[in-house]
Amino acid sequence: MSSKDKGWKEIAPAGVSPKSSIGFMTGDWKTYMPVRDLEKCTTCLMCVLYCPEGAVRWRPEMGKIEFDYSFCKGCGICANECPTKAITMKLPEKEDE
Amino acid sequence: MKSDVKQETLALNGDEAVAYAVKQSDVDVVAAYPITPQTIMVEKFSEYVANGEVETEFVCTESEHSAMAASISASATGARAFTATASAGLALMHEMLFVASGCRTPVVMAVANRALSAPLNIHGDHSDTMAERDSGWVQIYVENAQEAYDSVIQAFRIAEHTSVLLPVLVGLDGFTLSHTLENVTALSDADVKEFIGERKLINVLTHEGKSVPFKLDPDNPMTMGPIALQNYYFEFKRQQEEGMKNALALIRQVHDEYAKLSGRSYGNGLVEKYQLDDAEIAVVCVGSTAGTMKTVVDELRAEGVKAGLLKLRTFRPFPVEEIQNALGKVHAVGIMDKSMSFGGNGGAVFHEVRHALYDLAERPLVVDYIYGLGGRDYNPKEFKKIFNELRQIAHSKRVHKLVNFTGLRE
């Protein structure tokens, strides 16, 4: 709690969010991150279909798959579903180490 | 009280009276799942839909949990929503009841009060709704089919008022009211429509910084009931309590306004006092029992006994002040509880009425009578015995047994 938090009389009812969900970076929940091997990837889009967060996106105009790590929670479903085992879950290297 | 508007007397049972009130209340969505003894409400209303008598969207859900979810969702879009259930159906809704109150969706629900399993029992008691007393719903209990009709109409006004924005439950005793034919006087469709009016919406600030009506709308996206953790959850719960506090005054106001229109009143909308002004002994009861109890009070009064009755019409928000004013001067009070709080030393009504009286400098002796569980029949003779006990308690100023079971075989 911080002094900036508002009192009950000031906030909208029902928890109506003052922020869009785009403002909540749920990607920082993850431990492991999916890393794709471009040589093994056949662009079958199974990872795009299976991602429960919509964090794996198909960019048809660029013809490529994009991983949005700001929202990827590291669940590993994409790696599990990938038919060519092109995705592996890796521990990210910590910057402060 | 007299009414200046044209009304019609119909032969309806409690369930049909509820369905008829909903038919007149310009409801946008009814999502429901049939369960005894509420079934007639759903059957009757689906008949209205099939006949084209209403424009309501009727959603046949696969369970009560879904019925409540659909009602909440409909209400969140700004629509007027109604559902109905009983017993196990209400228990299955449990999780969603808190979502309805937490999302401030003013759903109206009729509950044909019925016992909970096990053992399986389809008859009337208050176990189902009393178990949901902390779910954030306004709770109104009715004495007869007429009051069921009148209360459902009032419920929409109470629930949707911008100072309340809470779901309202109208409880009617299973079978005793739900399946018993009565003369019900109904207002005209036009009068009901005018009385309830259009649902008004408050404005809220969205994440885009726009002040828009509080409803789900693709043009003005907003999120209702998302995650709120240690830093905000508590504040939202406090807001709900404020809605309840406001409901206390509003229930009276809506009730009085309705009384003026229809000529029918139920005490002050919160409680109904019957022969209480000079009463030395009194009972407090909820629902249809009040009718039987009034007969008993009349008989005792004819014998010169100063007996009275307090009918608790509104259970949530709990009318503490009204109870204090009504019972403060009585010597002994018996509370009629048609549900159990196992191991709780008395039923829900007992706990709350006794708690309301605690702050008075002079307060009556209060005892609990648990009765009628699983639809167990009760009669005036039995109630007279209770008044006799209360006379002894008032006379001796001593309570021998705080919690009593009435009509139970030893």
pLDDT by residue (tens digit) across B285-336?
999 999 999 999 999 999 999 999 999 999 999 999 999 999 999 999 999 9
Q: Do the domain assignments include residue B72?
A: yes
Contact (CB, 8 A) for B309 and B285: yes
Q: Is B97 on the interface with A (CB under 8 A)?
A: no
Q: Are residues B52 and B182 in the same domain?
A: yes
pLDDT mean over B388-405: 97
Q: Do the domain assignments include residue B219?
A: no
Who contacts B160 (Cβ-Cβ below 8 Å, separation ≥6)? B80, B106, B199, B200
Q: Do B223 and A17 touch (CB under 8 A)?
A: yes
Q: Is B208 on the interface with A (CB under 8 A)?
A: yes
pLDDT of residue A97: 46
Query: The CATH number of A26-90 is which of 3.90.1010.10, 3.40.50.300, 3.30.70.20, 3.40.50.880?
Result: 3.30.70.20
Q: Do B104 and A19 touch (CB under 8 A)?
A: no
Q: Are residues B68 and B194 in the same domain?
A: yes
State the alpha helices, DSSP H only, in B223-268: 233-262
Q: Are residues B180 and B34 in the same domain?
A: yes
DSSP-derived 3-state class of residue B79? coil
Q: Do the domain assignments include residue B228?
A: no
pLDDT mean over B118-142: 98
Q: Do the domain assignments include residue B166?
A: yes
DSSP-derived 3-state class of residue A59? strand
pLDDT mean over B355-367: 97
Who contacts B120 (Cβ-Cβ below 8 Å, separation ≥6)? none
Q: Are residues B383 and B253 in the same domain?
A: no
Q: Which of A18-32, B45-59, B265-279 is least confident?
A: A18-32
pLDDT mean over B191-195: 98
Q: List the single residue in A8, A11, A15 with the smallest CB-CB distance to B226.
A: A15
Distance CA A14, CA B102 (A): 6
Residue numbers of the domain that contains B289? 271-405
- Name which of A2, A4, A8 to mutate to probe chain B: the one with the most chain B Cβ atoms within 10 A of its Cβ: A8
Distance CA B155, CA B22 (A): 10
pLDDT of residue B221: 85
Q: What is the pTM of this model?
A: 0.91
Q: Do A13 and B104 touch (CB under 8 A)?
A: yes
Q: Do A12 and B204 touch (CB under 8 A)?
A: yes
* B223-246: pLDDT as tens digits: 899 888 999 999 999 999 999 999
Q: In what order do the strands lie in the sheet with B81-85?
A: B57-60, B29-32, B81-85, B108-113, B168-173, B138-141, B314-316
pLDDT mean over B354-374: 97
* Token pair listed for A27: 């990607």
pLDDT mean over A48-57: 96
Q: Is the pLDDT of residue B392 over 90?
A: yes
Q: Do the domain assignments include residue B221?
A: no
Residue matched to tokens 């209205």 = B48
Strand partners, B139: B169, B316
- % of residues, chain B, pLDDT over 90: 95
Q: Are residues B330 and B372 in the same domain?
A: yes
Q: Do A11 and B232 touch (CB under 8 A)?
A: yes
Type of residue numbered B156:
F
Q: Do the domain assignments include residue B356?
A: yes
Q: Are residues B243 and B184 in the same domain?
A: yes
Of A2 and A75, more confident? A75
Q: Do B222 and A17 touch (CB under 8 A)?
A: yes
Q: Which CATH number do you get for residue B282? A: 3.40.50.920
- Name which of B105, B222, B241 to mutate to probe chain A: the one with the most chain A Cβ atoms within 10 A of its Cβ: B222
Q: Do the domain assignments include residue B232?
A: no
Q: Do the domain assignments include residue B189?
A: yes
Q: Are residues B275 and B250 in the same domain?
A: no
Give me the total of CB pairs closer than 8 Å, taking one residue from chain A and one from chain B.
64
Whole-angstrom CA distances from A88 to A39, A55, A56 are: 13, 16, 14
Who contacts B100 (Cβ-Cβ below 8 Å, separation ≥6)? B68, B71, B72, B75, B107, B136, B137, B167
| C-alpha closest to that of B250 among B113, B148, B140 | B140
Q: Is the pLDDT of residue B85 over 70?
A: yes
The H-or-E segment that residue B18 falls in is helix B14-24
* Token pair listed for B349: 């009504």
Number of Cα atoms under 13 Å in the Cβ half of residue B219: 3
Specify the pairing of strand B271-274 against strand B281-285. Answer: unpaired
Contact (CB, 8 A) for B47 and B17: no
Q: How many helices (H) and strands (E) does chain B have?
A: 12, 17
**Residue B199 C-alpha from the chain's centroid:** 21
Q: Are residues B76 and B149 in the same domain?
A: yes
Whole-angstrom CA distances from B352 to B14, B130, B311, B319 are: 27, 12, 14, 10
Q: Are residues B165 and B276 in the same domain?
A: no
pLDDT mean over B183-195: 98
pLDDT of residue A1: 61
Q: List the single residue in A2, A11, A20 with the smallest CB-CB distance to B235.
A: A11
pLDDT of residue B284: 98
Q: Which CATH number do you get for residue B196? A: 3.40.50.970
Q: Are residues B159 and B189 in the same domain?
A: yes
Distance CA B393, CA B332 (A): 6
pLDDT mean over B38-65: 97
Q: Do B235 and A6 touch (CB under 8 A)?
A: yes
pLDDT of residue B226: 86
Q: Are residues B188 and B278 in the same domain?
A: no
| C-alpha closest to that of B199 among B390, B25, B40 | B25
Task: Assign residue B175 a region (left: φ > 0; alpha: ψ between -120 and 50; beta: otherwise).
Answer: left
**ipTM exceeding cut-off 0.85 for this assembly:** yes
Q: Are residues B300 and B354 in the same domain?
A: yes
Radius of gyration of chain B (CA): 21
Q: Is the pLDDT of residue B356 over 60?
A: yes
Q: Is the pLDDT of residue B146 over 50?
A: yes
- Residue A6 DSSP symbol: P
Contact (CB, 8 A) for A84 and A40: yes
- Number of structural domains found in chain B: 2
